[in-house]
A and B are shown apart, each in its own frame.
Chain A
Amino acid sequence: MTATVETAEDRVPGATIALVPGAVVLDEHVPARAPWSAVVAAGDVLTIVDLAGNQAVDCLLYSAADTAVRYSAPETIRRQGRIRLTTGSVLRADTGEALMTVVADEVGVHDTLGGACSKESNTLRYGQHTRAQHGCMENFLLEGARHGLSARDLASNINWFMNVPVDPDGALGIVDGLSAPGKRVAVRAEVDTLVLVSNCPQVNNPCNAFDPTPVRMVVTRPGGAA
């Protein structure tokens, strides 16, 4: 169990590890396989630290003011003209509204096509014997329920640090990641945004290098006091 392992990046102060400087308003360690959520206030920046490297961080976004306004992969990738997320990507709701913007990225490739793993889809992808394994949908459902969300509210998601190429013939799949220990990505909230995360527990494909590991979430307020 890697959930409680402390890495070198864990011991770095939040203000130092944040990609965008500012007062630290939140600094939390997310154990391997666990959910996490927080409302990131407009203007604040969330830095996600891939502590051990190649850990997919499945992520849903909602306008905190109205959770019916939620992240849309189609709207986001169509408006930016390409499938991968990196610095400059505006993360949009299905209304077109900007929820967050990627403001710094040490990896360069993040996915939003591949969706979230689940007990049920594991049976299709890897066989019925994998149904018992934990999945991102479990994390999303339970953590989402704390905010009044249900299965109806789970739509498209982002997969930070995950690599999903599309070949010329349309073949698409999760391949080895491009992240490494300590790599970070930072997103700035454009509106108060509920960020719902599943630290992906998948062990049947390379999205977590076959070994789910913890991540760290640091929220900073540029130019502000905590």
Chain B
Amino acid sequence: MTTTTHPARPGSPPGAGASGTATTAGAKAHARAQHGQVAGIMRHVPPATAPDAPEGVSRESLVWAETVAPGGYTTAVLARGTRVRLTDPVGHACAHVLLHRADAPHERLNVADTVKVPWQAYLGAGHPLLSGFGRVLATVVADTSGRHDALTGTTTREGNQARYGGSAPESAAPAGRELLTLGALKHGLGVRDLPPSISFFQGVRVDPDGAFEWLGSAGPGASVDLLLHVDAIVLLADTAHPLDPRPGFTCSALEVRAWPAAHELGPLAAGELVGPLGPEHLQAIANTDADLKARGVL
């Protein structure tokens, strides 16, 4: 039999094209030969196959281990008591974060309540991430960066297009809102389900005149830990902060590790994990726990 096949394009994986993928059997073999590879940017499944785990945490106990591409996004549904560590290994990551309650996603992060209720605009260890229903979705339980932003949101298609000439997820400068929209869509949610988001690792401050001041990052290796109080949908986008003054799109990979730590919820409320919590925070924990107890979860 004589067949005419097209040669593989330059840069195609070995085995692609004429010799390997002209038949279903060849295409299948070619596809299957790609399994088992390890890349710098990937989700490790099962998570125990991650190259590392946080100190004091076994790799076997990890429930989520991933390195998110600069300009990428990821999402997971995590159980109450999960501790999520976000790390900025290189120093240019910016983790845009939204949380929705898994069993009632209309209950979600409310940035206004998150800064107003604890009387504090700047995120740091001990800060509650509140929903709009008087409950706490997560608490920031560790922070080696101190440079975050709860006020100025994420990037938009219009903004990145004007700024960098690209904004789509497949472009060189993906907009945070586009990425978070994709994450939301993966859970059957849509743009109406996207409230203002918070971001970690690129700091913003408000000067006495009310103007914004860009701090940038704390450098390579900073991390922040969130402890979840409810089962939650976590949406994460890693893309340049909207106030980043650098002319070119600048972003580096974001590392995610998560593990069960429900045993820390008690000490957190007791003031033994990050010090004494404010009365508003304690009331939010009480509201959350009362709701879960009424549902038979606690």
Give residues of chain B (143-193) contacting chain A, Cβ–Cβ below 8 Å: 151-154, 156-159, 177, 190-193
Q: Is A27 an interface residue (CB 8 A)?
A: no
B247 at the interface (CB under 8 A from A): no
Bound form: Cα–Cα A130–B122 in Å:
27
B117 near A121: Cβ-Cβ < 8 Å: yes
Residues of B within 8 A of A96 (CB): 156-159
Given contacts A82-B210, A121-B134, A123-B283, contact A173 B119 (CB under 8 A): yes
Q: Hey, which chain B residues are within 8 Å of A115, CB to CB?
A: 110-113, 116, 132
Contact bitstring A160-193, B, C-beta under 8 A = 1, else 0 = 0000111011111110000000000000000000
The yes or no answer to B195 lying at the interface (CB within 8 A) is yes
Chain B CB within 8 A of A68 CB: yes
Query: Do the beta carbons of A73 and B106 come within 8 Å of each other?
Result: no
Q: Is the CB of A78 within 8 A of B119?
A: no
The digit string for A39-82, where 1 denotes a CB below 8 A from any CB of B, is 00000000000000000000000000000100011110110011
- Smallest beta-carbon distance B177→chain A, Å: 7
B116 engages A172 (CB within 8 Å): yes
**Any B CB within 8 A of the CB of A113:** yes
Q: Which residues, 118 to 177 on A, are CB-close (under 8 Å) to B? A: 118-125, 127-128, 137, 150-157, 164-166, 168-174
Assess whether B287 is in contact with A120, with CB atoms less than 8 Å apart.
Answer: yes
Residue interface mask B132-145, A partner, CB < 8 A = 1: 11110000000000
Determine the distance from Cα of A150 to Cα of B192 in the docked complex, in whole angstroms.
10
Q: Given known contacts A83-B206, A113-B112, A114-B112, is B196 in contact with A125 (CB within 8 Å)?
A: no
Please determine whether A152 and B196 come into contact, CB atoms closer than 8 angstroms. no
**A153 and B151 contact, Cβ closer than 8 Å, known pairs A83-B206, A113-B115:** no
Question: Quick check: A156 and B283 within 8 Å, CB to CB?
Answer: no
Report Cα–Cα, A157/B90, bound state, in Å: 36
Q: Are A172 and B115 also in contact (CB < 8 A) when A81-B211, A94-B156, A166-B210 are?
A: yes
* Interface assignment of A33: CB less than 8 Å from any CB of chain B: no
For residue A204, CB closer than 8 A to chain B, the reply is no
A156 partner residues in chain B, CB cutoff 8 A: 111-112, 195-196
Say yes or no: B151 contacts A83, CB within 8 Å: yes
The 8 Å CB contact of B157, one of A95, A118, A122, is A95
| A94 touching B194 in the complex, CB below 8 Å, given contacts A156-B111, A170-B121 | yes
| A171 touching B113, Cβ below 8 Å | no
Given A74-B153, A120-B287, A152-B193: A168 in contact with B208 (beta carbons within 8 A): yes
Find out whether the CB atom of B151 lies under 8 angstroms from the CB atom of A113: yes
Verify B196–A78 contact, CB threshold 8 A: no
Distance between A36 CB and nearest chain B CB, rounded to angstroms: 21
The answer to whether A118 and B132 have CB atoms under 8 Å apart is: yes
Evaluate whether A75 and B153 lie within 8 angstroms (CB atoms) in the complex, with A82-B209, A123-B283, A156-B111 already known: yes
Find chain B residues with CB under 8 A from A174 CB: 116
Q: How many A-B residue pairs have CB under 8 A?
A: 136
A216 located at the interface, meaning its Cβ lies under 8 Å from any Cβ of chain B in the complex: no
Inter-chain contact B156/A95, CB cutoff 8 Å: yes
Interface membership of A116, Cβ < 8 A: yes
**Chain A minimum-CB-distance residue to B123:** A170
Task: Give Cα A114 to B119, complex, Å.
Answer: 10
Interface: A84 (CB within 8 A) = yes
B212 pairs with A172, CB closer than 8 A: no
In the bound complex, residues from chain A placing their C-beta under 8 Å from that of B196 are 72-74, 94, 155-156
B40 to chain A, nearest CB (A): 31
Tell me the minimal C-beta distance from A98 to chain B in angstroms.
Answer: 11
Q: Are the C-beta atoms of B134 and A118 separated by less than 8 Å?
A: yes
Q: How far is the CB of B132 from chain A (nearest CB, A)?
A: 7
Nearest-neighbour CB distance to chain B for A125, whole angstroms, equals 6
Which of A120, A122, A173 lies at the interface centre, i.e. has the most chain B CB atoms within 10 A of its CB? A120
Asked if B8 CB lies within 8 Å of chain A CBs, one says no
A164 to B191, CA, bound (A): 28
Nearest Cβ distance between residue A139 and chain B, in whole angstroms?
Answer: 14
> Which residues of chain A are near B153, meaning CB under 8 Å?
72-75, 78, 94
Please report the C-alpha to C-alpha distance between residue A97 and residue B157 in the assembled complex, in whole angstroms: 11
CB distance from A182 to the nearest CB of B (A): 25
- The answer to whether B120 touches A83 (Cβ under 8 A) is no
Other-chain residue from B120, B132, B283, B287 in contact with A172 (beta carbon distance below 8 A): B120
Given contacts A73-B153, A78-B242, 16 further A-B contacts (CB under 8 A): A68-B192, A74-B154, A81-B211, A82-B212, A83-B206, A84-B210, A95-B158, A115-B116, A119-B134, A120-B135, A121-B117, A123-B287, A124-B283, A165-B210, A170-B122, A172-B115
Top 4 A-B pairs, shortest CB-CB distance: A115-B112, A74-B153, A120-B134, A170-B122
